[in-house]
Amino acid sequence: MNVLTGGDPALVEVKLGARSYAIVIGRGTIESLGERIAALRPGANAFIVTDENVARHVLPAAAAALDRAGIKHGRFVVSPGEGSKSFAVLEQVCEAIIAARIERGDLVVALGGGVVGDLAGFAAAVVRRGLDYVQVPTTLLAQVDSLVGGKTAIDSRHGKNLLGAFHQPILVVADTALLDTLPAREFRAGYAELVKYGLLGDAGFFIWLEANWREVFAGGAARDHAIAVSCRAKAAIVARDERESGDRRLLNLGHTFGHALEAACGFSDRLLHGEAIAIGMALAFEFSAARQGLLPKAEAARVIRHFAAVGLPTKIKDIPGPPPAVDRLMEWIGQDKKIKRGQLTFILARSIGSAFVETGVDAAEVRAFLSEKLAGR
């Protein structure tokens, strides 16, 4: 597998006809944010949505880039964390955009991780019946997954991401240098979503990550390469299935289990999203092997071994605090967005690099499997 060697940023195109857009990946790309926006939307004003942590560390660079391009801009800063993906905060963001007199020819800049991207993207989808927006992802998880593909959402008390819209950005600027100061735990959590692309459809990429994950964590060309591979994989899937009626559901590998575990932890720092997805993918491979007989148990063990090697949790018992009740987990799984006419849908695997969508999964089988895992077996 050839690795990017630096120099000019990598460009990945999300091909959606008239709504196609570029993902710009590389170190220092935030410096070009203003000129790229000015080229796409000459004369437009901007409104930045970010969170308190990103505002301290990244907002000055983003604002300076807009200033250099002569782009007038306002801003709104939310609290960090999943709690900001709520009706109350969405209302605040929408009202702030309207109060700033952002017109339909202007745009929103989502500057932050997955929470800010989901929230700001949803606000852009609904204010004035739809504004353009630009994603500037500042976490690994956001750069490889959540801010590519136009899925925007807030959470409901019934579950994660149940209120939202498909609304594609006009540009994604992924500055990989911003990841240098990301806390180790957050970087590991993002790495889980990066590994997902190898597990669902590219065994060669998974093998490469097994050999090179330390270099990805260290930064430089290997990190940029891994991000670009992930973005290309997601861009190809989104181009085939923008609204998640077919192949795009594969991107939910590990998410049915993972979202239920996040809900069980109250969407708190007990379990970060990427950590939940790591456990969810481990469970999906184990379920595929032990309960469905789809692949050798050694394949599932290999996946678990890699996650453990990088320091990610792989078992429900790895989550700090009291374990969730199986009834509650099944209740949250029952609210999964992939359910069709009341039947459970899971992303299962026949091997590393070969995931598929399975509808009509027996809820009793899932319950029995989770009961075994909660018992430590």
**Domain boundaries defined on the chain:** 10-181, 184-374
Q: What is the pairing mode between strands 10-14 and 21-26?
A: antiparallel
**What pLDDT does 3 receive?**
52
pLDDT tens digits along 247-272:
899 999 999 999 999 999 998 999 99
Round to whole Å and give the CA distance between 365 and 291: 7
Instruction: Examine the residue annotation and report whether 244 is marked as an active-site residue of this protein.
Output: yes
182-240, pLDDT tens digit by residue? 999 999 999 999 999 999 999 999 999 999 999 999 998 999 999 999 999 999 999 99
Instruction: Give the largest CA-CA distance in the chain.
Output: 61
φ, ψ for residue 101 (rounded to 5)? 60, 40
Q: What percent of the chain has pLDDT over 70?
A: 98
Catalytic residue among 2, 129, 340, 341: 129
CATH 3.40.50.720, applies to 184-374 = no
Q: What pLDDT sits at residue 271?
A: 97
| Given the residues 82, 193, 242, 275, the one annotated as active site | 193
User: At 348, is the pLDDT very low, low, confident or very high (cuts 50, 70, 90)?
Assistant: very high
Separation of alpha carbons 246 and 265, rounded Å? 30
Tokens of 248: 């795009």
Q: Of 248, 249, 306, 373, which is the active-site residue? A: 248
Average pLDDT, the chain: 94
In the predicted structure, residue 4 carries a pLDDT above the cut 60: no
Report the pLDDT averaged over residues 296-324.
Answer: 96
pLDDT tens digits, residue range 140-194? 999 998 778 899 999 998 888 999 999 999 999 999 999 998 999 999 999 999 9
Report whether pLDDT(1) > 80. Answer: no
- Sorting pLDDT into bands at 50, 70 and 90, what band is 7? low
The answer to whether residue 57 is catalytic is no
Q: Is the pLDDT of residue 285 over 50?
A: yes
Among candidate residues 249, 273, 306, 373, the one labeled active-site is: 273
Active site (annotated) includes residue 252: yes
Q: For 60-67, what is the mean pLDDT? A: 98
How would CATH label the architecture of 10-181?
3-Layer(aba) Sandwich (3.40)
Distances, alpha carbon 201 to alpha carbons 144, 233, 243, in Å: 15, 9, 19
The model's pLDDT over 69-103, given as tens digits with 9 standing for 90+, comes to 999 999 999 999 999 999 999 999 999 999 999 99
> Is the pLDDT reported for residue 110 higher than 70?
yes
The two three-digit tokens of residue 122, written as one number:
């949803």
Out of 73, 223, 234, 373, the active site residue is 234
The reply to whether 52 belongs to the active site is no
Residue 192 and residue 28: Cα distance in Å, rounded? 24
Residue 5: band (very low, low, confident or very high) from pLDDT cuts 50, 70, 90: very low
Q: Please say if 73 is a catalytic residue.
A: no
CA distances from 342 to 6, 145, 156, 287, 297 (A): 49, 28, 19, 20, 30
Beta bridge partners of residue 163, listed in sequence order? 154
The verdict on whether 259 is a catalytic residue reads yes
Is 248 among the catalytic positions?
yes
Instruction: Specify the pTM.
Output: 0.90
Interacting residues of 322 by C-beta distance below 8 A, sequence separation 6+? none
Is 214 among the residues known to form the active site? no
